[in-house]
């Protein structure tokens, strides 16, 4: 599982020219689910996302986590995070999980964050989405949770 974390002042996602989700300060999370991912990867991702200290304290140090700043999360599925650009000139999506599994794990991640007290908004899985954000910093991080399946 790969999660691209963007610390934002605000972010929104549109589907069919209508706002599907919108947040203030927090994380825009772009989530790519890979073959071999399961409940373990979701649990590890949620635990890490809650504990990461990516927000500045009064001294300008990144010492505060999402809950401490009362931040929100906009979670958007993005299967292209599973793409490989190693060979040729077109991306290979061989590592991406099948849509049914990917959607279930994406929804589990959303619910896991909600269960931790995070206010969560989402895009719509599988839809053509338009994402707008104001990246704070800019600060962008990649979280990779290896799958249990070492063949991918």
Does the active-site annotation cover 80? yes
6, 55, 72, 79: which is the annotated catalytic residue? 79
68, 80, 111, 142: which is the annotated catalytic residue? 80
Does the active-site annotation cover 78? yes
Does the active-site annotation cover 79? yes
What is the spatial distance between Cα 43 and Cα 58, in angstroms, rounded to a whole number? 31
41, 72, 78, 122: which is the annotated catalytic residue? 78
- Residues with catalytic function: 78-80
């Amino acid at each position: 599982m790969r999660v691209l974390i963007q610390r934002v002042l605000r972010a929104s996602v549109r589907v069919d020219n209508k706002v599907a989700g919108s947040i203030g300060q927090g994380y825009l999370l772009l989530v790519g689910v890979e073959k071999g991912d399961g409940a373990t990867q979701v649990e590890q991702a949620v635990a890490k996302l809650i504990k990461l200290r990516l927000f500045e304290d009064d001294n300008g140090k990144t010492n505060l986590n999402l809950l401490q700043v009362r931040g929100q999360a906009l979670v958007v599925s993005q299967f292209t995070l599973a793409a490989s650009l190693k060979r040729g000139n077109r991306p290979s999506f061989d590592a991406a999980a099948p849509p049914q599994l990917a959607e279930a794990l994406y929804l589990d991640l959303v619910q896991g964050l909600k269960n931790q007290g995070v206010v969560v908004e989402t895009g719509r899985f599988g839809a053509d989405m338009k994402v707008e954000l104001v990246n704070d910093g800019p600060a962008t991080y990649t979280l990779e949770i290896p799958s249990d399946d070492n063949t991918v």
